[in-house]
A and B are shown apart, each in its own frame.
Chain A
């Protein structure tokens, strides 16, 4: 198929823009921005072409480059896997990347910013890494690009390196995700050691081999050859591997307890935040689980962990968003929370729900961040919502698009977020009715809906409604077409993207409007939705309860409306006051993010650094002490022993004589003279 021959170009084009911006950016207008726009635009076109090809029933799964040629078994390859999932993700990523590039024209260039080539180079590399990650056909390649994504986040979060906070935030982001990646790396190596391959799909892929091994019973009889360690049976060992890989997911997708880097990452330029939250870094984790869902679906324990972590994170992060005062902080915590929903869906067996939410979230969160970016431009880089207010009339385009995004985020009918979040919760509920753990996760997810509605509309009302609360808000800075265009595009998507997959409507009316479900019933059997559903039922033992989708949808919509309504009522007035103060000491806990940062900083600085210093003292004192001690002992004994050399000839003669006498005596005794 001709279309797929161009698949690598999707990632190579932004890479080329990275090189161009890096080398020649400073000689180009706008620091090489147009190279990036062209490249990501090209990627978008190509991705759409791939999507059409996939829609036509084609898939692609080829190794294209031999990274290391070490014989049949051991070689490492880079390749391309295009199936419904990656095609969808490619479109999302390249679209968001493209829009972020365009938005950056307005956000970055209009301020006489220095270092623009570096910025656009970073964006290009970021897009290229993420697209490479999405294209990956095996876990090894995925890991490589996963790490590249980490590098890019470091580069871009720390873009304003002259200030103190961004480099620190960048370091934290990289370190925390690196901590997760450590487990991922162990997982990758373990996959190689266990299965001998890391391919995602095909007969020789590790999910397939794992399934065969489990199907053949714990002895592996009839199944494929797998090597397990620690004397674990395949099922348990696979669970260990899956949890290890999950470590990387939790790091990158900012799930509890490795979510702490994400709010700090707000130090980066706002378009970068949009990119990180909507399409690249954070999405990478969830995408990875979806990518190897055939493996996770085999392991009920791991699924339960995924679901529970997801549900917990959804609620946990949402509560922290309640009391934030910076607009971007609210959005950051909402991202963590929303990715929690996706994890919940994945863990609950709702593959389509998770990817659906991934998609809608990409649109509305990119929209919200770019909208926040527009607000921040208007506010001359002020981010405190209490300084804003009344912006509705000054910037109508931003207001209406931002409102659309907020409605989607809050999950209000009929915006995109409603459909996807509803499906996530529905999946969790129907599977959870037979599984208390899942039900608990569902409950937390449901509670988070109310909280989400509240903090979203607290944000909207504080920012756009009421009276301007500062001079800047009274006379905001205008924004240009390059800001408005992405907002409008994403705003439209935030409204309509939900109609792609109206599963409840499909179920109630029998109409085939659950297009995404049909999309995933793919031509590539290993990654097809049917396969996953089969696995979820057979291997994970999930049973879906019979339940009409109407009631759960109504409940979650009611909760969302209640939360939103409460926020509107509380903050509506011209001069709103901070009602969360009534939470008392609970607010302090929330504002301090449950002291999560504190203990992690303590782990890094209090514990590790202290251990390191102790090791250094030990090293310099004891080990080097022994080395130097050996030297000192030699020197000291030398300085003592040399004292017998008095320089007085008579003493030497006496010693000589003594020696002679001693020699004679010894010889005499041993020779038997006496």
Chain B
């Protein structure tokens, strides 16, 4: 059996790639994809522990997360469309009119 540390390492790497994407990119679509990556990282974590402990809780949660990710994409794409319409592009740094 693969030791759990490998899964955790993988999960952390995927999460960090996603985080890196969120922090460095301005493109809303890339943002969405990065968030997906972060969620995936979390999923790997959940599933790994589930296998480790032999309970199903983690797997159930990962299913929830997948559902959540799908919903998030649906809303996210909607936001991206709104961005394109209102700010002529997918650059997230331009949508700052509601900050104050």
Instruction: State A648–B94 Cα separation when bound (angstroms).
Output: 8
Instruction: State A646–B99 Cα separation when bound (angstroms).
Output: 6
Does the CB pair A649–B92 fall under 8 Å? yes
Task: Say yes or no for A642: interface residue by CB 8 A criterion.
Answer: yes
Task: Say yes or no for A470: interface residue by CB 8 A criterion.
Answer: no
A80 to nearest B CB, angstroms?
78
When distances are taken between beta carbons in the complex, the residues of chain B under 8 Å from A649 are 31, 92-93
Does the CB pair B23–A657 fall under 8 Å? yes
* Residues of chain A in range 324-353 having any CB-CB distance to chain B below 8 Å: none
B22, B97, B99, B100: the one contacting A650 at CB < 8 Å is: B22
Does the CB pair A647–B99 fall under 8 Å? yes
Does the CB pair A648–B96 fall under 8 Å? yes
Task: Say yes or no for A645: interface residue by CB 8 A criterion.
Answer: yes
A661 to nearest B CB, angstroms?
11
Task: Say yes or no for B86: interface residue by CB 8 A criterion.
Answer: no
Task: Say yes or no for B55: interface residue by CB 8 A criterion.
Answer: no
Q: Identify the closest chain B residue to A642 (Cβ).
A: B100
Task: Say yes or no for A508: interface residue by CB 8 A criterion.
Answer: no
Does the CB pair B97–A647 fall under 8 Å? yes
B17 to nearest A CB, angstroms?
13
Does the CB pair A650–B95 fall under 8 Å? no
Instruction: State A654–B22 Cα separation when bound (angstroms).
Output: 8
- Report the interface size for chain B: residues with CB under 8 A from the other chain: 15
Task: Say yes or no for A653: interface residue by CB 8 A criterion.
Answer: yes
Instruction: State A180–B92 Cα separation when bound (angstroms).
Output: 80
Instruction: State A129–B19 Cα separation when bound (angstroms).
Output: 93
Instruction: State A657–B26 Cα separation when bound (angstroms).
Output: 17
Does the CB pair B19–A650 fall under 8 Å? no
* Residues of chain A in range 621-672 having any CB-CB distance to chain B below 8 Å: 642, 645-650, 653-654, 657
Does the CB pair B93–A645 fall under 8 Å? no
Instruction: State A650–B92 Cα separation when bound (angstroms).
Output: 8
Instruction: State A642–B92 Cα separation when bound (angstroms).
Output: 19
Instruction: State A642–B97 Cα separation when bound (angstroms).
Output: 14
B19, B24, B92, B100: the one contacting A648 at CB < 8 Å is: B92
Does the CB pair A653–B99 fall under 8 Å? no
Does the CB pair A647–B23 fall under 8 Å? no
Known contacts A645-B100, A646-B99; decide if A653 and B92 are in contact (CB<8 Å): no
Chain B, residues 78-97, CB within 8 Å of chain A (1/0): the string is: 00000000000000110111
Task: Say yes or no for B98: interface residue by CB 8 A criterion.
Answer: yes
Instruction: State A210–B93 Cα separation when bound (angstroms).
Output: 92
Instruction: State A645–B99 Cα separation when bound (angstroms).
Output: 6
Does the CB pair B31–A647 fall under 8 Å? no
Instruction: State A649–B92 Cα separation when bound (angstroms).
Output: 7
Does the CB pair A647–B96 fall under 8 Å? yes
* Residues of chain B in range 26-71 having any CB-CB distance to chain A below 8 Å: 26, 31
When distances are taken between beta carbons in the complex, the residues of chain A under 8 Å from B22 are 650, 653
Instruction: State A642–B99 Cα separation when bound (angstroms).
Output: 9
B76 to nearest A CB, angstroms?
11
A593 to nearest B CB, angstroms?
69
Q: Identify the closest chain B residue to A651 (Cβ).
A: B93
Does the CB pair B26–A646 fall under 8 Å? no
Instruction: State A372–B95 Cα separation when bound (angstroms).
Output: 93
Q: Identify the closest chain A residue to B31 (Cβ).
A: A649
When distances are taken between beta carbons in the complex, the residues of chain B under 8 Å from A646 are 96, 99
Does the CB pair B99–A657 fall under 8 Å? no
A578 to nearest B CB, angstroms?
83
When distances are taken between beta carbons in the complex, the residues of chain A under 8 Å from B100 are 642, 645
Does the CB pair A647–B95 fall under 8 Å? yes
B31 to nearest A CB, angstroms?
7
Q: Identify the closest chain B residue to A654 (Cβ).
A: B23
Instruction: State A647–B99 Cα separation when bound (angstroms).
Output: 5
When distances are taken between beta carbons in the complex, the residues of chain A under 8 Å from B92 are 648-650
When distances are taken between beta carbons in the complex, the residues of chain A under 8 Å from B97 are 647
A647, A653, A654: the one contacting B98 at CB < 8 Å is: A647
Instruction: State A42–B65 Cα separation when bound (angstroms).
Output: 106
Does the CB pair B23–A648 fall under 8 Å? no
B20 to nearest A CB, angstroms?
10
Instruction: State A160–B100 Cα separation when bound (angstroms).
Output: 65
Instruction: State A657–B22 Cα separation when bound (angstroms).
Output: 10
A645 to nearest B CB, angstroms?
5
A356 to nearest B CB, angstroms?
89
Q: Identify the closest chain A residue to B99 (Cβ).
A: A647
When distances are taken between beta carbons in the complex, the residues of chain A under 8 Å from B24 are 650
Beyond A647-B96, A647-B99, list 6 extra A-B contacts (CB 8 Å).
Answer: A645-B100, A648-B96, A649-B31, A649-B92, A650-B92, A657-B19
Across the A-B interface, the 5 shortest Cβ-Cβ residue pairs: A647-B96, A647-B99, A648-B93, A653-B22, A649-B92
Q: What are 7 A-B pairs at a CB distance below 8 A? A: A647-B95, A647-B98, A649-B93, A650-B22, A650-B26, A653-B23, A657-B19
Residue positions of B touching A, CB distance < 8 A: 19, 22-26, 31, 92-93, 95-100
